[in-house]
Amino acid sequence: MRRQPKEKPPRRTPDVRRRALKIIAAHPGGCTEAILAAQNIPADVLIELVSSGLVMARSELLDDEDGAVEATTLWITAAGEWVLAAQM
């Protein structure tokens, strides 16, 4: 019996990463993960951008009437700005 090769997970297109960088760059005061989710940017793309140093993120607990809510805000780094400029 021959084993089937494991399928590789689909790679994200550079377009998704570029679009995420553009959205984050358009919010100099910080872009929330919720804004990016509304634009169909998957969380794994954000993790990849943070891991590669193109974006920095900060999570904080915010109190509301229903209890604490975690909010993640992202900012583009100088390296991320350089990547965007190089792709134009």
Query: pLDDT-derived band of residue 69, with 50, 70 and 90 as boundaries?
Result: confident
At 1-48, the pLDDT tens digits run 566 666 655 555 579 999 999 999 999 999 999 999 999 999 999 999
Cα gap 76→22, rounded to integer Å: 9
H or E element that contains 76: strand 67-76
Q: Which residues pair with 32 in a beta bridge?
A: 73
Question: How is residue 12 written in tokens?
Answer: 């994200």
Query: What CATH number does the domain containing 32 carry?
Result: 1.10.10.10
| pLDDT above 70: residue 70 | yes
pLDDT of residue 64: 81
Beta carbons of 55 and 77 less than 8 angstroms apart: yes
Instruction: Give the pair of three-digit tokens for residue 14.
Output: 């550079």
User: In this structure, is residue 6 part of a structural domain?
Assistant: no
Position 56 in a domain:
yes
At residue 2, the pLDDT reads 62
How many structural domains comprise the chain? Answer: 1
Domain, as residue range, for 78: 14-87
Return the residue matching tokens 């929330």: 32
In a domain, 61, yes or no: yes
Query: Structure pTM?
Result: 0.78
Name the strand (E) or helix (H) holding 32: strand 31-32
